[in-house]
Chain A
Amino acid sequence: MLELTDLTKNYGEITALDGVSLRVREGEKVALLGPNGAGKTTLLSIALGLLAPDSGTARLLGRPPREALAAGRVGVLLQDAGLPDDVRVGDLVGAVAGMYPTPSILADPELEALAGRRVAGLSGGQRQLVRFALALAGDPRLLILDEPTVGLDVDARRALWRRVSGRTVVFATHYLAEADDHADRVVLLAGGRVVADGPVEEIKALVGGTEVRLTLDTMDEPGLRALPGVHDVVVEGATAVLRTGDSDATLRALFAGFGDARNVRTSGADLESAFVSLTGKGA
């Protein structure tokens, strides 16, 4: 369905993609996971023929991307695509569906309620719903979605993913939870490289878990590293950040063994810092 081989792309001094290969087969749901600036959007733009790579090749449904798009079996939701403001939603969706060999208008009560409204008066979430309807307007075999749920509330997110089911999907996201819920394969992108590629569980073990932040008067990094569950420690002055797969056990042992631990805070894994530790290992 999608075949990218050895893609590189530089913007001046900045390397956006540094030798990325990716093959997506029919029926797969692939999340392209990475922090902002990881190269997700660049990767998708090249896959769609919107951007030329410096080297490497992209094939979509077995042909050059532009041809595949012209044939109308790929649905795309772009992050920075706009909509004309002065038209009615129903006219817009109808006009775009009419471009495809297999027109399909999303049967959705919320979208139907918007049909008579002008795009100018829509909220961010409603616009995203319209963009999504445009992506589905050709009943696509392959869906490519760049940050599809940005600006949507919980219900709208759920509804969007429900409508995706049954298709081959490649989507970019910077939410681990979204990849976890809706992908069966995660490609982890950082600094323009694929740093991991595998089933969701495998990637979760790498970047998931909980972060524990604390202050110690006398820093003891090896001691912190030895706490149960901890798989990574980052020290900045008197502050340490632990990444743990079992925060309960880690905290119990921390308070038992480190009387001077103060300002202890826990939070869900922050993808950005997880990436720093992941890519830092390779350097």
Chain B
Amino acid sequence: MRSFLRFEVRRAMSNPVNLVFLAGFPVLLYLLWTKVLDLASGPVSMVSMATYGAMGGALFIGGAIALERSGGWLRQLAVTPLPAHGYIAAKLAGGMLAVLPSVVIVLAAGALLGGVRLPAATWLALPLLIWAGVLPFAALGVAFGYSLKGQSANIAMMVVYFVMAVLGGLWLPVSRMPEGLQVFAEYSPAHQAGSLGWRALDGLAPTGTSVLVLAGWTALFVLLGLWRYRSAAWR
């Protein structure tokens, strides 16, 4: 199955649309928030936008699955020795690897264009924390990929992506939201993913709550994905 894994990784890394979407757009938003509108602090916004981009990259692994399901490629794979879990594993590996460069680009934009200055150890920790934080979205993406077909999956995920990012306080801080919403917001996966990086800015390790909440969301989305996968299989 290694040949297919290599194939998927190369494919994900050489997709220019990914980079524009996952890095270009967050960088523009970062510059808009901090330079043009002067609404947010540089480092926090940088982490938020890197998380926002990474989250999209993880979610849209499912978009690729939905497209390949409707395009008939999965039917072709079904008659090869590749097991179904091998396909999902390769998609996740390729998709999650492709997230890393986009995170690095947004952070680099923070350092080079935004003048963010941080200790070297923090610069090293940030991409890894952000990357690990968006894992639940990869699982959610797979669940979407096996629920909907073709473009409808992408449209549905765009909506979920946007709502989750806003609710999680990646666009504007949770503290500015109405109080009733704040409770939901704080336990939402995007907020917890962001908090890993935000705390790292102050030199703090992730809280146990963050880790637990993220693990909980991941488990929930994996179960959802398994259920959707079982009912959709290769079709």
Of chain A, the residue at the smallest CB distance from B69 is A82
Residue A84, interface by CB 8 Å: yes
Please, which residues of chain B bring their CB within 8 A of the CB of A164?
A: none
Binary interface encoding of chain A residues 56-69 relative to chain B, with 1 for a CB under 8 A from any of its CBs, else 0 = 00000000000001
Determine the distance from Cα of A91 to Cα of B68 in the docked complex, in whole angstroms. 17
A82 touches B81 (CB 8 A): no
Count of A-B residue pairs with CB < 8 Å: 77
Residue in contact with B81 in the complex, picked from A71, A83, A85, A131, CB distance below 8 Å: A71
What CA separation (Å) do A87 and B79 show in the bound complex? 20
Question: Would you list which residues of chain A between 79 and 100 have a CB under 8 Å from chain B?
Answer: 80-87, 91-92, 94-100
CB <8 Å contact, B81 and A81: no
CB of B73 within 8 A of CB of A84, answer yes
Chain A interface, >50% SS class: loop
Contact among A50, A71, A96 for B234, CB-based, below 8 A: A50
B10 within 8 A of A: yes
Q: How many residues of B contact A (CB 8 A)?
A: 22
Query: Known interface pairs A82-B72, A86-B11, A86-B15. Does A98 touch B3 (Cβ–Cβ under 8 Å)?
Result: yes
Beyond A71-B81, A78-B75, 18 additional pairs, beta carbon < 8 A: A50-B78, A69-B79, A69-B81, A78-B76, A82-B68, A82-B75, A82-B76, A85-B71, A87-B7, A87-B11, A91-B10, A94-B3, A96-B3, A96-B80, A98-B4, A101-B81, A134-B76, A137-B80
- A sample of 14 inter-chain contacts (CB < 8 A) reads A50-B75, A50-B78, A69-B81, A72-B81, A78-B72, A81-B76, A82-B68, A83-B73, A84-B11, A84-B73, A87-B7, A91-B11, A131-B76, A134-B80
B contact set with A: CB distance below 8 Å = 1-4, 6-7, 10-11, 15, 68, 71-73, 75-76, 78-83, 234
